[in-house]
């Protein structure tokens, strides 16, 4: 297989980790929160924070670097509408994800210090408000990857 296809394979695998781990950890965190079980929330938040370091963070870097390389190999202009929208959406996802990472670490620490559920109810609401547009933007990115609308003028 050519170097191009190896990088594309890496890009698609990284996209799978980014979307799959993101969706999975969000599901378990929301379920733990809705269970009203503090012990479940304590274990879940610890593992959600760990998953972000182990899986999401490397995938975020690999996605962008491999994406820019693929773009240049395909001679898609960096001033094309497609590239501007893709990078814009990717930046937007990052702007939603970074506060979510902070919220998850904050809730993990609050619970570890014995804080009551009420102390992080507002943080969980913000976590949900940031999660919905972020996942919608990732779905839009998948669409743009396959359609390549606006990539070639
Ligand atoms: C969450 C973000 C992203 C996801 C989920 C994603 C996903 C994908 C997927 C599934 C493909 C394969 C599409 C196909 O075979 O038709 C792909 C291809 C591609 N991606 Fe991404 N990608 C993301 C971010 C990016 C970024 C940020 C860039 C550029 C900076 C980029 C550039 C490309 C290019 C140029 C291709 C075309 C490769 C080809 O068709 O041979 N991607 N991406």
Q: Are 153 and 80 in contact (CB under 8 A)?
A: yes
**Ligand 1 neighbours (beta carbon < 6 A):** 8, 11-12, 15, 18-19, 63-64, 67-68, 70-71, 74, 76, 86-87, 90, 138, 141-142, 145-146
* pLDDT tens, residue by residue, 112-126: 999 999 999 999 999
Q: How confident is the model at residue 85 (pLDDT cuts 50, 70, 90)?
A: very high
Give residue 153's pLDDT: 72
Residue 122's H or E segment, with its range, is: helix 121-147
What separation in Å is there between the alpha carbon of 107 and the centre of ligand 1?
33
- Residue located nearest, by CA, to atom 14 of ligand 1: 146
**d(CA 136, ligand 1 centre) in Å:** 16
- Residues counted in the chain: 153
What's the mean pLDDT in 80-88? 97
pLDDT digits (tens, 9 = 90+) for 47-71: 999 999 999 999 999 999 999 999 9
Angle at CA 22, nearest 5°, toward 20 and 28? Answer: 100
Which pTM was predicted? 0.90
């Amino acid at each position: 297989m050519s170097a191009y296809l190896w990088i594309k394979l890496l890009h698609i695998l990284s996209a799978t980790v980014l979307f799959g781990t993101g969706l999975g950890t969000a599901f378990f965190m929301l379920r733990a929160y809705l269970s009203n079980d503090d012990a479940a929330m304590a274990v879940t938040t610890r593992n959600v924070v760990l998953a972000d370091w182990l899986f999401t963070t490397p995938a975020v870097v690999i996605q962008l670097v491999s994406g820019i390389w693929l773009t240049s190999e395909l001679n898609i202009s960096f001033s094309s509408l497609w590239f501007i929208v893709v990078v814009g959406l990717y930046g937007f996802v990052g702007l939603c994800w970074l506060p979510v990472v902070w919220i998850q670490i904050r809730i993990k620490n609050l619970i570890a210090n014995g804080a009551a559920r009420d102390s992080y109810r507002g943080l969980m609401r913000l976590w949900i408000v940031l999660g919905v547009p972020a996942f919608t933007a990732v779905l839009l990115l998948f669409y743009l990857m396959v359609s390549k609308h606006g990539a070639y003028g």
